[in-house]
Amino acid sequence: MLVVVSDTHSREESKLQGRTAEAVRAADLVVHAGDFYRESVLDAFESAARTLRGVYGNNADAAIRDRLPEIRTVEYEGVRFAVTHRHRSGDTGLVMLGRGRDADAVICGHSHRPRFDDSGDLPILNPGSHAQPRGNRAAHAELEPVGGNGPGEGETALDGRLVTPEGEVFETFRIDP
């Protein structure tokens, strides 16, 4: 399972609770779309996750900026993601970023609003914030492979869901490579 989180905004800890904590610990891969806030929070995520791939956000301290890139490409089960915290040109800029990285989808954060939008040229996933939702639902995203991934079995898609820390699934989606 791939778990996507963002916008922790903490000074000391990961603020992982409930289903979000369980999902991060169980995941094959965790992607954090920025704004850990302080380096100790990045360290806490690295301790909790089997494998963590993150980017820095606009509120990252210098130590995080030294350790993480602003943009990265991550692959999971044959699906390629362009990951960044935000793009000044909004969804258009995110799609252009994804195209430039030959991505199947884009992961971003910043707005604290969980959403999946596949109405454009590339799907955009924002997991929201598990720790500081700012008037939105606290959330993270979980994605699991479906379909064939062996020779002659076709490409693997990812079935995704947006989930609250209480475990409520409030949106489902699919990403096809």
Which residues does 45 contact at the CB level (< 8 Å), separation at least 6?
Answer: 8, 14, 24, 30, 32, 36, 52, 54
Span 127-174, pLDDT tens digits: 999 999 999 999 999 999 997 554 445 678 999 999 999 999 999 999
What is the reported pTM? 0.95
27 neighbors 5 (Cβ within 8 angstroms): no
160 and 141 Cβ atoms separated by less than 8 Å: yes
Q: What domains can you pick out in the chain, each with its CATH number?
A: 2-175 (3.60.21.10)
Tokens representing 130 are: 């598990």
Structure confidence by residue, pLDDT tens digits, 50-93: 999 999 999 999 999 999 999 999 999 999 999 999 988 999 99
